[in-house]
């Protein structure tokens, strides 16, 4: 049995779809809920690692937030 990996996903919404993107591997997927998008991403990343077992996995980036001044609309 192989060792489990912990990867990071960023999720955002585009109209009726949620888009989940793996931050360590350039793979994204979508679903009609956050849970579905993450499950689809998990499946896509697993398939990717089956096809490319020596795939390059980048270091998990620092994810943070910042503020900018509001602008008048």
pLDDT (tens digit, 0 to 9) for every residue of the chain, 73 residues total? 567 889 999 999 999 999 999 999 999 999 999 999 999 999 999 999 999 988 888 888 888 898 999 876 5
With helix as H, strand as E and coil as C, how does the chain read? CCCCCCCCEEEEEECCEEEEEECCCCEEEEECCHHHHHHHHHHHHHHHHHHCCCCCCCCCCCCCCCCCCCCCC
Predicted pLDDT of residue 72: 61
Predicted pLDDT of residue 2: 67
């Amino acid at each position: 049995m192989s060792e489990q990996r912990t990867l990071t996903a960023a999720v955002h919404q585009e109209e009726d779809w949620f888009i989940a993107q793996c931050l360590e591997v350039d793979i994204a997927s979508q679903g009609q809920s956050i849970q579905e998008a993450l499950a689809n991403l998990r499946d896509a990343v697993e398939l990717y690692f089956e096809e490319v077992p020596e795939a390059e996995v980048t270091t998990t980036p620092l994810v943070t937030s910042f503020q900018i001044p509001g602008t008048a609309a």
